[in-house]
C-alpha cells in the first residue's frame, strides 16, 4: 500500500493566523475576578503531563486488530511524513500497536556511519550546537540554563557513584578531573514524532555512570523550548556520563509529553515516568561495579536506547580547541551523519 508523504498542514483550510491564536486572557478572565493572575505558561507548567504521558503510553501500547492496523497507522504515517521505505518492516499490518511503529527499527544499510570523530546519535533537527560559555547551556538562542542544574553535582567520581537517591542541590560546580586546556561543547537534537526513535553512540566512549532525574514531561518542540526557560532541567531525563579519548563525555535523553518511557539497553533497572517520584531528587547508578573500571564500552554507531514517541538528545563533552562541528543549527541530521571532527 503506497503511503503519501504529505504534510498535514498543507491540507488544512487557510485560516487567518489571528483566528488561530489562543485567547488565554478570555479563558482565564473569571479567575482574575477572585484575585488570581494566572498565565498560560504557568498553567501549562502545572499540567499533569506525567499522568497524561502514562495514559498515552497505555493507549499506544494497545494491540490493534489486524484489520484496523493498516488504515489507522497509515493516518499517522501520512500526518508525520514517516518514511516507511527505510523501516525494517514496511508493511503496516506487521505492527501490532502504534507504539511498535514509533519504535520501528530501520534497515541496517540506510544509516551508514561516517568516518568522523563524532556522528549524529539520532535522526532529528539540530536546535543548537557550539561551545559552552561561563557554565551556561543554550536551550535555544538567547535562552540559557546552568550546567549544574542540568547534570547535577559532578560528585559521582569521588564516591564511586554508588546507587542511591540524592537531592539536587546544584551550584557545586564541576569536579577538578576535567582536562585543562580543553573546551566544553554541546549539541541538542530534537526528535519529531515521525522520526526514527532509537538513539546510538555518537563516538567511541565508555559509559561509567547513569543519573536519572524524574520530573515533568512537557513538550520539547522548539516552539515550547523557546517559551519556557530551563525546560530541560524541569523535564525527566537520563544522563549517561563517562569518558572518550579527550575527556568527559555525556549523552542525556530528555523525556517529553507522551514519552511513556526512556529505555537504555544496557540498564534493565532503569524505570522512567513512574507514578511516584520526588521532585528535585535524582537516582544514581554506577556501571563500574559490573562493567569493570573502564565502564560500558559504547562503540561509535552502536545502539544505546530508544524513546517512545519523540524527544531530545543533549550531548555535552570535552574536546580540544581544534574540534569543529560539521553541521549547524537548523539542519536536519540522521544517525551516523558527520557531526564533528578534530
Q: Tell me if residue 40 is catalytic.
A: no
User: Are residues 121 and 335 in contact, defined by beta-carbon separation less than 8 angstroms?
Assistant: yes
Ramachandran region of residue 272, left (φ > 0), alpha (ψ -120 to 50) or beta?
beta
Q: Residue 272, SS3? A: coil
| Catalytic site residue from 117, 123, 195, 284 | 123
| Catalytic site residue from 200, 209, 212, 234 | 200
Alpha helices (runs of H) in 64-143, residue ranges in sequence order: 66-79, 98-102
Q: Residue 200, SS3? A: strand
| Catalytic site residue from 120, 250, 286, 311 | 311
CA dist., res. 45 & res. 38, Å (int): 11
User: Are residues 92 and 70 in contact, defined by beta-carbon separation less than 8 angstroms?
Assistant: yes
Q: Tell me if residue 123 is catalytic.
A: yes
Q: Which of 28, 68, 83 is nearest to 196 (CA)?
A: 83
Q: Which of 302, 1, 250, 306 is nearest to 132 (CA)?
A: 250
Q: Give the active site residues.
A: 123, 200, 311
Amino acid at each position: 500500500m503506497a503511503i503519501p508523504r504529505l504534510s498535514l498542514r498543507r491540507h488544512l483550510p487557510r485560516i487567518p493566523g489571528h483566528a488561530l491564536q489562543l485567547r488565554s486572557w478570555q479563558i482565564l478572565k473569571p479567575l482574575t475576578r477572585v484575585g488570581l493572575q494566572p498565565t498560560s505558561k504557568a498553567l501549562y507548567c502545572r499540567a499533569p503531563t506525567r499522568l497524561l504521558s502514562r495514559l498515552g503510553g497505555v493507549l499506544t501500547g494497545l494491540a490493534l486488530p489486524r484489520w484496523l492496523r493498516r488504515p489507522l497507522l497509515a493516518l499517522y504515517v501520512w500526518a508525520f511524513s514517516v518514511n516507511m521505505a527505510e523501516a525494517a518492516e514496511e508493511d503496516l499490518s506487521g505492527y501490532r500497536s502504534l507504539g511498535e511503529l514509533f519504535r520501528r527499527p530501520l534497515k541496517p544499510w540506510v544509516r551508514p556511519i561516517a568516518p568522523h570523530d563524532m556522528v549524529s546519535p539520532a535522526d532529528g533537527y539540530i536546535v543548537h550546537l557550539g561551545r559552552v560559555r561561563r557554565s551556561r547551556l543554550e536551550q535555544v538562542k538567547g535562552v540559557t540554563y546552568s550546567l549544574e542544574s542540568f547534570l547535577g553535582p559532578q560528585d559521582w567520581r569521588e564516591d564511586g557513584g554508588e546507587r542511591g537517591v540524592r537531592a539536587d542541590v546544584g551550584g557545586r560546580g564541576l569536579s577538578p578531573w576535567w582536562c585543562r586546556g580543553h573546551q566544553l561543547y554541546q549539541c541538542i537534537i530534537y526528535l519529531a514524532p515521525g522520526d526514527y526513535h532509537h538513539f546510538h553512540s555518537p563516538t567511541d566512549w565508555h559509559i561509567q555512570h547513569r543519573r536519572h532525574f524524574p520530573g515533568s514531561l512537557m513538550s520539547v518542540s522548539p516552539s515550547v523550548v523557546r517559551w519556557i526557560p530551563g525546560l530541560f532541567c524541569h523535564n525527566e531525563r537520563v544522563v549517561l556520563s563517562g569518558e572518550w579519548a579527550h575527556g568527559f563525555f555525556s549523552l542525556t535523553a530528555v523525556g517529553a509529553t507522551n514519552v511513556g518511557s526512556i529505555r537504555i539497553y544496557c540498564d534493565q533497572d532503569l524505570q522512567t515516568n513512574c507514578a511516584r517520584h520526588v521532585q528535585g531528587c535524582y537516582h544514581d547508578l554506577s556501571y563500574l561495579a559490573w562493567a569493570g573500571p573502564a565502564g560500558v564500552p559504547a562503540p561509535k554507531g552502536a545502539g544505546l536506547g530508544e524513546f517512545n514517541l519523540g524527544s531530545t538528545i543533549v550531548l555535552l563533552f570535552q574536546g580540544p580547541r581544534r574540534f569543529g562541528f560539521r553541521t549547524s543549527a537548523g539542519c536536519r541530521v540522521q544517525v551516523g551523519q558527520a557531526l564533528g571532527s578534530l
